[in-house]
Amino acid sequence: MSVELSHHGALIYIMVTMSAVDRKMTDAELARIGDIVSQLPVFKDFDAEQLVYTAEECGEILSADGGLDAVLDLVGKALPKRLRETAYALAVEVAAADLDVRPEETRFLELLSDALELDALATTAIERGARARHATV
């Protein structure tokens, strides 16, 4: 399967994969993906009508043998260095959306960090920021 991703597609693939990695895509996670695509400046020139198609395309890749590795390879090639921390931050936002970060999600973050060649200090800061934003009383 040869898929060439735009930076928008790569960011969506990361969010969809984060949501799907624990085998259950919650309404909170799906809503968060929609909010991110509709609100963040990185998606200002993305046609939101393509979100469902892009998510389904990612799902097809994930369901194939070696799908997770294929997605990580595709996004690693598609994302410019300047958007790699953004990609990680979006993954963390989706993981935190339902306030229940599962071990599978933590493992995906580790794999994503490696695939995107991110600095441990940067990933820790991104994770800490998300914990602060999603804290409850």
Kindly state whether residue 55 falls inside one of the protein's structural domains: yes
Kindly state whether residue 127 falls inside one of the protein's structural domains: yes
- The whole-angstrom separation of Cα 75 and Cα 20 is 16
Kindly state whether residue 111 falls inside one of the protein's structural domains: yes
Kindly state whether residue 20 falls inside one of the protein's structural domains: yes
User: Does residue 1 register a pLDDT over 60?
Assistant: no
Kindly state whether residue 120 falls inside one of the protein's structural domains: yes
The total domain count for the chain is 1
Structure tokens at 34: 């929609």
CATH of the domain at 53: 1.10.3680.10
Pair 97, 31: CB distance under 8 Å:
yes
Kindly state whether residue 1 falls inside one of the protein's structural domains: no
First to last CA, the chain: 47
pLDDT digits (tens, 9 = 90+) for 31-53: 889 999 999 999 999 998 999 99
Grade residue 2 by pLDDT with cuts at 50, 70 and 90. low
User: How confident is the prediction for the chain on average, in pLDDT?
Assistant: 91
Grade residue 133 by pLDDT with cuts at 50, 70 and 90. confident
3-state secondary structure of 72: helix
pLDDT digits (tens, 9 = 90+) for 52-66: 999 999 999 999 999
- SS3 letters for 77-136? HHCCHHHHHHHHHHHHHHHHCCCCCCHHHHHHHHHHHHHCCCCHHHHHHHHHHHHHHCCC
User: Does residue 73 register a pLDDT over 80?
Assistant: yes
Residues of the domain holding 99: 7-133
